[in-house]
Amino acid sequence: TYPRVVLGIETSCDDTGAAVVDEHGKILGEALLSQKDVHLKAGGIIPTVAQQLHRDNIDRVVNEAIICSGISASNLSAVATTVKPGLALSLGVGLIYSLDLVKQYNKPFIPIHHMEAHALTVRLLHPVEFPFLVLLISGGHCLLAVANGISDFLLLGQSIDEAPGNSLDKVSRRLSLIKHPECSCMSGGQAIEHLAQFGDKTFCKQILPLSKYQDCNFSFSGLQNYFNCVIQKMEDVEGIENGAVLSCAADIAASFQHAVAHHIIKRTQRAILFCKQENILPINASLVVSGGVASNGYIRKMLQNLTDCMGMSLLCPPPQLCTDNGIMIAWNGIERLRAGAGILNDTFDIRYEPR
C-alpha cells in the first residue's frame, strides 16, 4: 500500500501556498507565491488586492505543487485548506477553489486552523511529543499556548493589540528603511534586524510593556508609539523631512529590536514558570517557536538563553517553514488523517471564519 498523501492549500493572508506531503512527512511537491512586494509598495495589505492576487495565482500554484509531486490529483488521500483565522476575502479564494477540487475528484476535505498548523509544523521535522509549549510570533499572530494534542490547545496569552511583526513593519516604514539601499527588498522585520547589527541597543530608554501584569499577554502598540515619538524627535533635531533616513536609524532599530525581544522573552518566561508551577508541562518539555518573527536571530538567541536557563529545549522550524506556506497545511492534514479527526466527506456546511 502507498503512503497517504495530502494536498494543502494556504491563502489566509498574503501568501498563496500549496504543497503535497505524505504521511511520513516527505514533502513531495511545493509552490509558494508571496504578494509581499506588492503590499510593501502599497504600505500595507489591501484585502481586495490580496484577494485578486490569490485568484490570479491559485490555480498555477496548486498545479505546480501537484505536478512537482508526481502524484495525480485522483491519487490524493484528501485536500486540506486553511479556513480560519485570516482575511475573509483571502480565505474565501482558497476555500472556494478547494471545494471545487474535492468535488471534481471526490476527495475528503480537511478544514485547517492556521494557528494549529503553525504549531504542529515542528512535528514534520522532529518527533516532538505532546504536551509542548508554543510561541507564535509573526506579522499577524502573537500567542503562547500549551499544545496538548492535535487541536487541543491551552491558550496562555496573546497580544492585546498588535502582533510583533506588524509593529516591526510599521516602525521600519516610519524609519523609511525601504529607502535604505541594503534594505529595499526586505520585510520590515528583516530590515530592522539587518540595521540593528550596526546600532547601539541602549540608545533609547528601555521600556517593558505589561510588566505589572501577572499574566502571559503581550502588547506592542505602546512600544511602537514610544519609538515613533523618538523618531519624530530625532527628525526634528536632524531637520529631516518625513521620508529621509535618520543618521541614528541603526541605533533606533537596535533599541526597538531589543525592546521587542525583551518583552517576548519576559512573557515566555512567565508562561514557563506558570507551567512548571502548575505541572502542566514535563520537566524537559520543548519550547516550539514559529512565525515570521521567529527567523530573527537576535530573538532566537535570547530564547535560546531562556530555554537553557529553564532546562528546556528550543525547537524552531527553518525560516521557510516558520512563515506562511502550504506545507504546514498539508502536514496538519496528515496529522488529522492519522488521528482520524476533522475529516469531512460532506462539505455542504463548511464556511471560512476570519476571526
Which residues sit at the interface with Zn ion, rule CB under 5 A?
324
CB of 162 to ligand KG4, least distance (A): 10
Q: Contact between 140 and ligand KG4 (CB under 6 A)?
A: yes
Q: How many CB atoms lie within 10 A of CB 14?
A: 24
Residue labelled with grid coordinates 503590499: 39
Q: Considering only residues 71 through 100, tell me which ones interact with ligand KG4, judged by CB under 6 A.
A: none
Question: How far separated are the first and last CA of the chain, in Å rounded?
Answer: 40
Phi, psi of 273 (to 5 degrees): -60, -40
Cα distance between residue 141 and residue 162, in whole Å: 8
Written as nine digits, the cell of 161 is 493589540
**Nearer to ligand KG4 by C-beta: 29 or 292?**
292
Q: Considering only residues 1 through 30, tell me which ones interact with ligand KG4, judged by CB under 6 A.
A: 13
Q: Which of 108, 157, 165, 199 binds ligand KG4 (CB under 6 A)?
A: 165
Q: Which does 21 bind (CB under 5 to 8 A by kind): Zn ion, ligand KG4, none?
A: none
Q: Which range in 39-47, 133-141, 151-159, 264-272 contacts ligand KG4 by CB under 6 A?
A: 133-141
Question: Considering only CA atoms, which of 307, 169, 145, 318 is closest in space to residue 217?
Answer: 145
Contact 328, 10 (CB under 8 A): yes
Q: Considering only residues 300 through 329, tell me which ones interact with ligand KG4, judged by CB under 6 A.
A: 323-324
Q: Which does 131 bind (CB under 5 to 8 A by kind): Zn ion, ligand KG4, none?
A: none
CB of 58 to ligand KG4, least distance (A): 18
CB of 133 to ligand KG4, least distance (A): 19
CB of 138 to Zn ion, least distance (A): 5
**Nearer to ligand KG4 by C-beta: 111 or 139?**
139
Contact 274, 284 (CB under 8 A): no
Q: Considering only residues 177 through 216, tell me which ones interact with ligand KG4, judged by CB under 6 A.
A: 187-190, 193
Residues that bind ligand KG4 (CB under 6 A): 13, 138-140, 165-166, 168-169, 187-190, 193, 291-293, 295-296, 323-324
